[in-house]
Structure 1
Amino acid sequence: MTQPYLPIGVFDSGIGGLSILDALLQALPHEHFVYFSDAGHAPYGERNDAFVQLRCQQIVQQLLTEHAIKALVVACNTATTVAIEALREDFPVLPIIGVEPAIKPAVRITQTGHIAVLATERTLQSGKYQRLRQSLSTSVRVDDIPCPGLASAIEANDTAAIERLCRHFLVQALRPSAAPVDTVVLGCTHYPLVLPALQRLAPPQLRFVDSAAAVARHTALRLQAQRLLRPPAAGNAQARLPLTLRTSGSLPCLQAAAQRHLHAGAALHGDEPDALPAHPANA
């Protein structure tokens, strides 16, 4: 099989990367995607750097060995922060795209000059994030709001906990100030999955931004530049390839999450569990 016809790998510590995958499916409707959820080892935010780097290396190797992926999207802020440079060294031929909190777009659209970033504490404390902040205009105030527990509640689909935590963190983000926050960055790929809850709790003028669309555009440009774009199926420009789901955790849970959160018309690959094996941690 020639390279353009090979699949694109996408992975996250859990279901959060589905927010990135949804944007990828919309931007690249003719591509075949393989999504890997490392739910058996989530959350990465509670693991040390060496563990996260090893898991990422193992996942990429598995995606290459079993699916011969032509490109990789690291759809996890923690994995991007901790492991993406090592992955690029280990797999130099593979195009690897990461994610980062969408602070730059937020800075461009804020009218009050005051934004807030909702993210995991691990992301907010990372050197990569701090360098991103330092690159910004000093005329914009950025409030970092760590959100412990929110990603785990989203993984568990715990609606009561999601509602309580979203309310709590929005109260922190919207504390009264001379120049009120008018833009909130969703700095974890899990958080866009509960955007309706956030919008319901927020004042109507508050804007939320995330990195999914930008990651999808960048992925498309990388594939185009390297002549890796898959052409539409002959005679059917609207044909969409099935989505392959893999996980180190519960496959039925991942399938249910994909059904809830993907809106781009992706068909899940296979109906029987044997068609979508949940590989052991060290596979």
Structure 2
Amino acid sequence: MRNDPIGLIDSGVGGLTVLKAIHRRLPAEATVYFGDQQRLPYGPRTKQEVRTFVRQIATFLRRTDRIKLLVIACNTATAAALPALHQELPIPVVGVIAPGAKAAAKVTQTHRIGVIATAGTVNSRSYDRLVRKQDLQNQVTSLACPEFVTLAEANDLTSPHAQQVVTAKLQPLRAAHLDTLILGCTHFPLLQPVIHRAMGPTVHLVDPGVATAQRVATVLTEHQLTRLKTTPPTARYYTTGDGASFERVAQQWLSTAVHVQTVPLTDLTQLDTLEAK
């Protein structure tokens, strides 16, 4: 089991930012990534819908790739499904919200923290609770930015159009005098340069993917799941959407050749149950 891969789930390409951080932190580990592009965005969907999608993909990855640990590399899915999957899966499950909240609480100096995310994550108030749990002085201002997911999925990351959209959307947060901004959707680090320009040099951007990779390393050690093989690790990719567009974004972001396998939704909708603990 120690040599089985780490599985990652996201609604699309955004979780590749978490995957990249895991590759950097744990280069010896094999990984398998699943982007559910056919059903994105997850943000406007109900918690029950998102929970069902995550269960289906988790079951697929366990049966197909025998994953040893699952990373819910999507903030919306973490908010909707993490507690349930902790109870239902016999393998460790790591989300992205708690690591990101802790990282933001560590770096803020003024206790004015912003969160940009999907509507589902913002409405869950998960970041608000966890950031304030670290320090009751922390003040959290949240903003739903579904337009940013659209930009990332279209690979429109650095164009003048992308900068215009991001700058206009973030104007309310500039007025909040933040010193820290959590990129509370795993798509958003793909837009980090334009977000940085929009917010200005005094605002520290927190990428929860980096903190999540550290958490994965800790969990692997705690559960004695660190990979033992000395052969080069594998990296596999699945999508329910357009494989060609996924590969373009993945290869640009990961700076390596990527081959993705397309999974029909019918293969997932039959997998509504998880193997119990």
Q: Which TM-score bucket, shorter chain as reference?
A: 0.7 to 0.9
In structure 1, runs of 5+ residues without a counterpart are: 235-239, 271-275
1:259 counterpart residue number: 251
Is 1:209 the counterpart of 2:201? The answer is no
Counterpart of 2:172, as a letter, is Q
Partner of 1:171: 171
Query: 1:115-264 to 2 correspondence within 5 Å?
Result: 115-158=113-156, 159-175=159-175, 180-231=177-228, 233=230, 240-262=232-254
- Distance in 1 between the 2:183 and 2:149 partners? 12
Deviation at 1:121, TM superposition (A): 2.0
Task: Specify the code of the residue in structure 2 equivalent to 1:17.
Answer: G
Cα drift, residue 170 of structure 1: 2.7
CA distance in 2, matches of 1:190, 1:84: 19
Structure 2 partner of 1:26:
24
**For 1:70-149, what aligned pairs fall within 5 Å after superposition?**
70-91=68-89, 93-100=90-97, 102-149=100-147
Deviations 1:158-192 (A, max 9, x none): 345532221023322111x6xx3222111111111
Tell me the TM-score normalized by structure 2.
0.88
Flag the 1:33–1:168 CA change in 2: closer, same or farther, 3 A.
same
Higher mean C-alpha deviation, range 217-226 or range 155-164 = 155-164
Deviates more, 1:153-162 or 1:118-127: 153-162
In 2, Cα distance between equivalents of 1:277 and 1:187: 28
Q: How many residues align?
A: 264
Cα distance change of structure 1 residues 85 and 138 upon mapping to structure 2, 3 Å threshold: closer
- Runs of 4+ aligned residues of structure 1 deviating over 6 Å after TM superposition are none
Structure 2 CA distance for partners of 1:160 and 1:43, relative to 1, 3 Å: farther
Aligned counterparts of 1:113 and 1:278: Cα–Cα separation in 2: 44
Structure 2: state its 5+ residue gaps: 268-277
Contact 2:43–2:146 (CA under 8 A) maintained in structure 1: no
What displacement does 1:196 show?
1.4
Indicate the RMSD between aligned Cα atoms, in angstroms. 2.0
Bigger mean CA offset, 74-83 vs 50-59: 50-59
Q: TM-score, normalised by structure 1?
A: 0.86
Identity %: 34
The letter of the residue matching 2:167 is: R
Asked which structure has the greater CA Rg, the reply is 1
What SS does the aligned partner of 2:60 have?
helix
